[in-house]
Every structure is written in C-alpha cells, then in structure tokens.
Amino acid sequence: MNLEELAEEFAQNVSAQTDAIWNGDARTGNKHAKRYVAAYKNLRNHGDAGRDALMILLKHPRMDVRVKAAIYLLSERPTQALPVLEEAAKSKGMIPFEASQVLKYWSEGTWSLDVD
C-alpha cells in the first residue's frame, strides 16, 4: 500500500468506527479502530512523508476524520492540527467533545498519544 492508500485506509476506518458507534455496535467499532491505528502506525513508520499523507485528511469532508487525523498529528504538527481541533470543538456532539478533551489535555501539558 502506498502512503495515499494508507491515509485512505485510516479515513475509511475512522468513518466506519463512527458509524458503528452511532449504530450501537461497539464490537465493529473496535475492529475499525484497530485498523485505523494500524494504518497510522504504518504511516508513522514513513516519517515526514507519512505525516504529510495524513495531513491531507485535515481537510476531509467528515469532521470525525479531520479530528482523528488532527489528534494523531498533534504532537508532530501542532500548527496544522490545533486549528482543526479548535474549529471542531465549537460544535456539539461526540466528535466535538473528543476534540475539546484533546485541547484541554494539550493546554494542560498532559497530552500524550499512546498507540504503541
């Protein structure tokens, strides 16, 4: 899989997880979460090129994909990720709440993405 395909794999599985959660299917949601984490790890292994591929998702039409990409990019690309999280946090709902929580931990200096 090339980097663009890995980023698309990330996006598709974030979307699928969100949809599964809204349908009350946590088991399927967890399956998709494992897949987007695996896609992220693969992208991360490609260094800046992998992060660049993930950055494209900051403009994705779905808020859940934009926010998840921003969360995964926050530590290495805060200048690009923070505005996405800040914009999402202005709304109401599950995804905006997730964005606001990440922003809270970031501002407190306690943010850490643990995917290893």
Tens-digit pLDDT profile for residues 86-114: 999 999 999 999 999 999 999 999 988 87
pLDDT of the residue at 1: 81
* pLDDT at residue 83 tops 80: yes
* pLDDT at residue 28 tops 90: yes
Calculate mean pLDDT across residues 8-19.
98
Rg of the chain over Cα atoms, rounded to whole angstroms, equals: 13
pTM, 2 dp: 0.94
* pLDDT at residue 116 tops 90: no
Calculate mean pLDDT across residues 60-89.
97
Q: Which element (helix H / strand E) includes 85?
A: helix 78-89
Q: Indicate the burial class of 6 (C-beta count within 10 angstroms; 0-12, 13-18, 19 or more).
A: buried
Angle at 84 between CA 90 and CA 40, to 5 degrees: 130
Which architecture does CATH list for 3-108?
Alpha Horseshoe (1.25)
* pLDDT at residue 53 tops 90: yes
* Residue 31 banded pLDDT, cuts 50, 70, 90: very high
